[in-house]
Amino acid sequence: MSLPIVFIDGDQGTTGLQIHARLRDRTDVQLLTLPAAERKDAARRADALNACDIAILCLPDAAAREAVGFIRNPAVRVIDASSAHRTQPDWVYGFPEMADGHARHIAHAKRVTNPGCYPTGAIGLLRPLLQAGLLPRDYPVSIHAVSGYSGGGRAAVDAFESGDAAANALPLQVYGLALEHKHVPEIRQHAGLAHRPFFVPAYGAYRQGIVLTIPIELRLLPAGVTGERLHACLAHHYADAHYVDVMPLADARAATHLDPQALNGTNDLRLGVFVNEDRGQVLLSAVFDNLGKGASGAAVQNLDLMLGARRAA
């Protein structure tokens, strides 16, 4: 029996390189690669896209849409790591843990859209609470997140790591000041929010890792909802998830800080609930690798589901 053929279109970008590194030594897939001189040749890319079993697109949005248009072979399945299709109804959203049975939808899908890095943390925190009715759909959600500069892609990595740029890099760069970040519609749709969340992203002067936080006012929640109930909801939802864990409340009470780099190199997502019942306030947190669960790790997890291989949910 022949091995499934995987083609990474855009394997020289930040995400593509990471996916290639995760797959190159595996014996259960065959990687189809193009010579360097042919990587931007549309005809050669089209040939590869139609010759593989699963194509993983690690491209800018417009190029990802173009790549999908190249595919004529009805047997080819696609994982798109760009944001081009994340709110499209005919694509399956590639966050296996977000709902019961969702991993099965991914496993049988023809078209899977990989989640964005920030949405992974935001949706991971919000969706279970909204589904359980503990957080109202019209809650005025504010999301604050800091990512390593690799979240900006290959150009950002080159800029931060070149000599002059590295010497002059700001320790923190808040961006998205026009309040039109492309991840906002994705978060709203897949979390199940009635309104656009307020989203404040930033890059830190370190390579990778995300810490994302969402403040919650208990007085705005349904009567009887406490920080402990929010924690219990998340802990129950992710009880059987291999790659998502919820920090015990005792650990959260003892914590003094959150390290965005704590899970670098993994596909793990760690959620936290920090409670001050006296003040009626809760802080939800997510820590994960923007290049892991936020990008390449999630793509490989979805690939494994589609192949029926390894532990993938």
Phi/psi of residue 68, nearest 5 degrees: -60, -35
pLDDT at res. 310: 57
pLDDT band at 201 (very low <50, low <70, confident <90, very high): very high
Mean pLDDT for 127-154 is: 96
Strand partners, 213: 144, 285
- Sequence-distant (6+) residues with CB within 8 A of 182 are 83, 116
pLDDT at res. 195: 98
- Better pLDDT: 312 or 76: 76
Mean pLDDT of the chain: 95
Asked whether residue 1 carries a pLDDT value surpassing 80, the answer given is no
Mean pLDDT for 31-35 is: 96
Strand partners, 210: 147, 288
Asked whether residue 54 carries a pLDDT value surpassing 80, the answer given is yes
pLDDT at res. 138: 98
Tokens of 5: 């053929």
CB neighbours (10 Å) of residue 240? Answer: 10
pLDDT band at 152 (very low <50, low <70, confident <90, very high): confident
Asked whether residue 287 carries a pLDDT value surpassing 80, the answer given is yes
Asked whether residue 34 carries a pLDDT value surpassing 90, the answer given is yes
Cα–Cα–Cα angle for 246, 238, 244, nearest 5°? 60
* Share above pLDDT 90 across residues of the chain, in percent, rounded to a whole number: 90
pLDDT at res. 311: 59
pLDDT at res. 47: 98
- Name residue, tokens 């390290």: 259
* pTM of the full structure: 0.95
Contact 173, 160 (CB under 8 A): no
Name which of 262, 309, 251, 255 is nearest 290 in CA terms: 262
For residues 122 and 104, what is the distance between their CA atoms, to the nearest angstrom?
A: 22
To the query of whether residue 117 is one of the catalytic residues in this protein, the response is yes
Contact 71, 50 (CB under 8 A): yes
Mean pLDDT for 36-46 is: 93
pLDDT at res. 156: 80
Q: Which CA distances in Å does 222 have to 97, 135, 194, 214?
A: 25, 7, 16, 18
Dihedral sign (CA 58, 60, 64, 70): negative
pLDDT at res. 165: 67
**What 3-state DSSP class applies to 44?**
helix
Tens digits of per-residue pLDDT, 88-121?
Answer: 999 999 999 999 999 999 999 999 999 999 999 9
Helical H segments across the chain, by residue range: 14-23, 42-51, 61-70, 102-107, 117-131, 153-161, 163-168, 183-191, 227-237, 249-254, 297-307
Name which of 87, 83, 92 is nearest 110 in CA terms: 92
Complete domains list, the chain, with CATH: 5-115+295-307 (3.40.50.720), 117-290 (3.30.360.10)
pLDDT band at 223 (very low <50, low <70, confident <90, very high): very high
